[in-house]
Structure 1
């Protein structure tokens, strides 16, 4: 029998511990060292009753279901720089109403559909066969969006802002990765957009302390 993570779950390791995101209920769970080691054992191929018993059951539900998609942790290249901090002139033409439209779509989706269904909608909207590598056009449009976003009269928030940037990139035939990440002691969560090891949505200092637990 083969197993995979239950749909809606993702996780990442932070030192000896792990953090699990359950999109079904929009909650993060801290996985302590012993249970995190059981996850590592599963990844290494030790799928037996003892290992499965050591797994956490956040919310009283099993992490695993039958399937073949596996249970790999979310990982990302450590950001090395931000395109928003580069000394480059913005050449992309981004009308204000394009930035406003993307922001309104993201904010309305989260408000009406919630995080789980919004993420599902964004997955369906993602173009196929578009590379996620950093390009001059990707960096330029990210900078253009950041400039226009300053004029959009909607309160800043990392999740809708990142979803809006992704939507805008897709409309230009571009792509990147969107991450949810956390830091511990004290706990905090953040969402950002990244291509390779370049940040597209944030200054570098905003993201370096976060470890990814979800990738769109």
Structure 2
């Protein structure tokens, strides 16, 4: 049985804690004093109840312990899509699934959709290495961006891609990352050390705040 997805996650960048409240689809940081108290209360990167109390995050105390995100993710290279042809049927599937995820996010909210995704990603027991079939799916999502712009749609695009990859028995992770100055958030999919729908250079600009 999959452990429920907490409604709060966080990472630390340059001595600043950044939080993602999944229930409200809201990123936030703490006032300077509360941030210092929170960081001082972390134990090996884990926020127990006292750390959340010290930061004034009493509403999230029941979620403790929460571990800072960002470790263990080391993308090395982008997936090789050379040799993948242009597939109208796969492109249509990519567009359809992305629109379906957009509608579901609007109706059900971020926490529910990501909880469902986590269950899908964890429920697949047979794992196959990334191969030609999976590369064709990734290429279809890339080509779909020529039909419908992928700008500001990284989240539904990544969720839709990850679901199809999981259904094809390829282990993958969806990663939401953030950067501090200026603040920005981004989302992409990885299969091990392979980046599927982002460049290594772009992903390196962000620190993971949620890893599924």
Match of 1:107 in 2: 102
CA distance in 1 between counterparts of 2:39 and 2:66 reads 12
* RMSD (Å) for aligned C-alpha atoms: 3.1
- How far residue 169 of structure 1 moved from its aligned partner, in angstroms, is 0.8
Are the aligned partners of 1:43 and 1:72 in contact in 2 as well (CA < 8 Å)?
yes
Relative distance call for 1:112 and 1:152 in structure 2 (3 A) is: farther
Q: Decide which of 164, 168, 188 is 2:164's aligned counterpart.
A: 168
Partner secondary structure for residue 149 of structure 1: helix
Which range is displaced more, 176-185 or 120-129? 120-129
- 1:146 maps to 2:149: no
What residue ranges of structure 1 are gaps of 5+ in the alignment? 1-5
CA distance in 1 between counterparts of 2:148 and 2:162 reads 19
Residue-pair matches, total: 201
Are the aligned partners of 2:53 and 2:61 in contact in 1 as well (CA < 8 Å)?
no
- How far residue 10 of structure 1 moved from its aligned partner, in angstroms, is 1.2
Relative distance call for 1:72 and 1:134 in structure 2 (3 A) is: farther
The TM-score normalised by the length of structure 2 is 0.78
Match of 1:16 in 2: 15
CA distance in 1 between counterparts of 2:176 and 2:18 reads 11
Match of 1:25 in 2: 24
Relative distance call for 1:118 and 1:173 in structure 2 (3 A) is: same
Are the aligned partners of 2:86 and 2:143 in contact in 1 as well (CA < 8 Å)?
no
Match of 1:200 in 2: 196
CA distance in 1 between counterparts of 2:103 and 2:40 reads 40
Structure 1 segment 181-192 matched on structure 2, within 5 A: 181-192=177-188
CA distance in 2 between counterparts of 1:87 and 1:168 reads 17
Are the aligned partners of 2:49 and 2:62 in contact in 1 as well (CA < 8 Å)?
no
Are the aligned partners of 1:11 and 1:19 in contact in 2 as well (CA < 8 Å)?
yes
